[in-house]
Amino acid sequence: MGGTQEVATLKWEPGGDILLSGGSELAVALTDQGLIGEYHIVVHPVMLGGGKPVFPHGNSASA
């Protein structure tokens, strides 16, 4: 995914935290690269009967 290299560069520069809002595919790509140090997950439940899993099968968010 194209954004992971940019995030890797930002992660090692001085400054504050990086916030990713939404985008489960990018979150999984960043997790696979070891670029996420902490998760704060906010769920907004909607009764639609379906949706995408936060972490697809086989990917673990355990620290």
Inside any domain, residue 60: no
Residues 6+ apart with CB under 8 A from 41: 54
Inside any domain, residue 19: yes
Per the structure, the complete domain to which residue 27 belongs is given by: 1-52
* Position 5 confidence tier, pLDDT thresholds 50, 70, 90: confident
Tell me the pLDDT tens digit for each residue of 21-36.
Answer: 767 788 888 888 888 8
Position 1 scores a pLDDT of 47
Inside any domain, residue 28: yes
Inside any domain, residue 63: no
Burial class (CB in 10 A: 0-12, 13-18, 19+), 30: buried
User: Torsion over CA of 48, 38, 28 and 20, rounded to 10 degrees?
Assistant: 70
Inside any domain, residue 58: no
